[in-house]
Amino acid sequence: METISPDALQGSPLPRSFYGRKTVDVALALLGKVLIREFEGKRLAGRIVEVEAYLGTEDRACHSSRGRTPRTSVMFGPPGYAYVYMIYGMYHCMNVVTEPEGSPCAVLIRALEPLSILPGSTSGPGRLCRTLSIDRSLNGHDLSSSPLTLVDLPGSSPLPPILKRPRVGVSYAGEWAEKPLRFSFANSPFVSAP
């Protein structure tokens, strides 16, 4: 694992235009980007190694497929904001809102490769959020600003091959459950379990 000094984590926040594209394109482009969480005077960071794309109202696995609700309103845009929700009454999950405003799509951040000393695992969306203290208070947060930011660090090494597989835990979604919308770096030990 590569550990980076907190002072070196000074990459530029991703611009709004990065997120306002097709969701699959954004999902693939997020691999290798760095999520930085500032919490209680510490800067926690990890490189994104696994994501899932959720394609809006037609995608039966996407929360917005049931229409606009108080829970899903942030998904309707603008892009570049965090969509944070709770599952099973105990785990938070963090998504990145994508596509132009009005197109309710998002990318779930599933796993990070730690770049700083972290207090727990970042393999799996619930563990990642628990370790980085990401909860509903960050729902609707602009990801270009502190305390939760997505950046591109200068001088990153070449990216490894990318695997495309079906998403996890969406068997209820019919034909959408089998679509290869889960993307991860091949051979990364930080990717979540299937």
The enclosing domain of 165 has a CATH number of 3.10.300.10
Residue 2's pLDDT is 55
Looking at residue 126, its pLDDT comes to: 96
Q: Let me know if residue 70 belongs to a domain.
A: yes
Q: Which domain holds residue 77?
A: 6-185
- 156 occurs within a structural domain: yes
Cis amide bond preceding 147, omega within 30: yes
- Rounded to a whole number of angstroms, the distance between the first and last alpha carbons of the chain is 22
Q: Residue 74 falls within a domain, yes or no? A: yes
Contact 20/81 with Cβ under 8 angstroms? no
Q: What's the mean pLDDT in 123-150?
A: 97
* 8-12, 59-63, 86-90, 171-175: segment of lowest average pLDDT: 8-12
Mean pLDDT of 172-188: 93
pTM: 0.93
pLDDT over 90 for what percent of the chain? 78
Q: Domain total for the chain?
A: 1
Span 156-169, average pLDDT: 88
Mean pLDDT within 155-160:
76
Collect contacts of 100-103 with beta carbons under 8 A, ≥24 apart: 100/20, 101/76, 101/77, 102/76, 102/77, 103/56, 103/76, 103/77
In a domain, 146, yes or no: yes
pLDDT, averaged across the chain: 92
Answer whether residue 194 is part of any domain.
Answer: no
Q: Is residue 1 part of a domain?
A: no
Q: Is residue 98 part of a domain?
A: yes
- Evaluate if residue 154 carries a pLDDT over 80: no
Provide the 8-state DSSP code for 51. Answer: E
- 190 found inside a domain: no
The larger pLDDT score, comparing residue 1 to residue 134, is at: 134
